[in-house]
């Protein structure tokens, strides 16, 4: 039995992870912004879980950084400790809006990068002190290279990826695994503006199964689905002189 905290539990991918973990008999503490959605998710998990299983949560906007510390304390009290932290919240910004408004661009960076870094710092210190556990974060393939179509989102995810890399290095000898998840295209409400056709689009349940497995195996960096490792390998190796002219 693992004690798991999920930030951004209302996201489709995180919700699917929660279902898998509940079925395994784990304890869960969920944090989501929309309270009605979170209540719906908790009710669903209660039906799926055993009657005495610990499945709790609170609704908080994670852009309130000063509440982060109390969330960890709350989760520890509810479950009697924390073994796994999954950070899954985020937003998919409108790139054009970010180009026209500094405020919007910075707000997106705040949501997708700074709030994650705040949570990662707190999680790392707690698990490091304990000498065990796993910290996993949903970054993105978009963070592997800046592209004109969504570089604000990409920059935020890139920051998260780099921060995780350093954290992994710091905690490598402290018993704490740091898992960077890089999903490609996922058919979720966040991507409702896209035409979702073709083999590259994956269902959130598929991504969730990959995340649960990656955490079990204490992997370092995981592309989901696997094909994205090779796609991004190519994308990362296109010379900048050529890349800057591509419409990507």
Note whether 48 binds other proteins by CB under 8 A.
Answer: yes
Is there binding between residue 73 and other proteins (CB under 8 A)?
Answer: no
Bridge partners (DSSP) of residue 32 are: 59
| Residue 191 Cβ vs other proteins, minimum distance, rounded to whole Å | 11
Cβ proximity to other proteins: between 10 and 161 the closer is 10
**Of the residues 1, 25, 36, 106, which one makes contact with other proteins according to CB under 8 A:** 36
**Which of these segments, 39-47, 77-85, 86-94, 151-159, binds other proteins (CB under 8 A)?**
39-47
Q: Can residue 20 be called a binding residue for other proteins (CB under 8 A)?
A: no
The DSSP secondary-structure symbol of 188 reads S
| Minimum distance from residue 133 beta carbon to other proteins (Å) | 29
Residue of 40, 58, 128, 209 interacting with other proteins (CB under 8 A): 40
Q: State phi, psi for 95 to the nearest 5 degrees.
A: -60, -45
Secondary structure percentages of the chain, helix, strand, coil, to 5: 55, 15, 30
CA distances 151 to 97, 145, 176, 198, Å, are 12, 8, 31, 23
Nearest to 87 by CA among 36, 129, 139: 139
- DSSP result, 134-162: EEEEE--GGGGS--TTSHHHHHHHHHHHH
Stretch of 25-33, 37-45, 157-165, 240-248 lying at the interface with other proteins (CB under 8 A): 37-45
Give me the residues that bind other proteins (CB under 8 A), please. 12, 36-37, 40-41, 43-44, 47-48, 51, 189, 192
């Amino acid at each position: 039995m693992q004690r798991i905290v999920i930030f951004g539990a209302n996201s489709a991918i995180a919700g699917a992870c929660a279902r898998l973990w509940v079925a395994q008999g784990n304890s869960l503490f969920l944090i989501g912004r929309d309270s009605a959605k979170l209540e719906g998710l908790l009710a669903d998990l209660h039906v799926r879980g055993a009657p005495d299983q610990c499945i709790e949560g609170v609704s908080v906007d994670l852009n309130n950084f000063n509440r982060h510390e109390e969330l960890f304390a709350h989760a520890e009290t509810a479950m009697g400790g924390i073994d796994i932290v999954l950070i899954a919240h985020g937003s998919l910004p409108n790139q054009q809006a970010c180009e026209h408004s500094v405020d919007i661009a910075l707000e997106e960076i705040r949501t997708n990068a700074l709030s994650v870094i705040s949570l990662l710092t707190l999680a790392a210190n707690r698990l490091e002190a304990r000498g065990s556990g796993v910290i996993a974060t949903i970054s993105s393939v978009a963070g592997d290279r800046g592209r004109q179509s969504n570089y604000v989102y990409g920059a935020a995810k890139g920051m998260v990826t780099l921060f995780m890399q350093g954290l992994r290095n710091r905690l490598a000898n402290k018993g704490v695994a740091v898992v960077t998840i890089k999903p490609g295209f996922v058919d979720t409400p966040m991507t409702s503006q896209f035409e979702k056709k073709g083999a590259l689009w994956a269902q959130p349940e598929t991504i969730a199964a990959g995340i649960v497995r990656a955490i079990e195996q204490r992997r370092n960096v995981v592309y989901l689905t696997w094909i994205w490792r090779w796609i991004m390998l190519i994308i990362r190796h296109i010379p900048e002189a050529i890349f800057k002219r591509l419409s990507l």
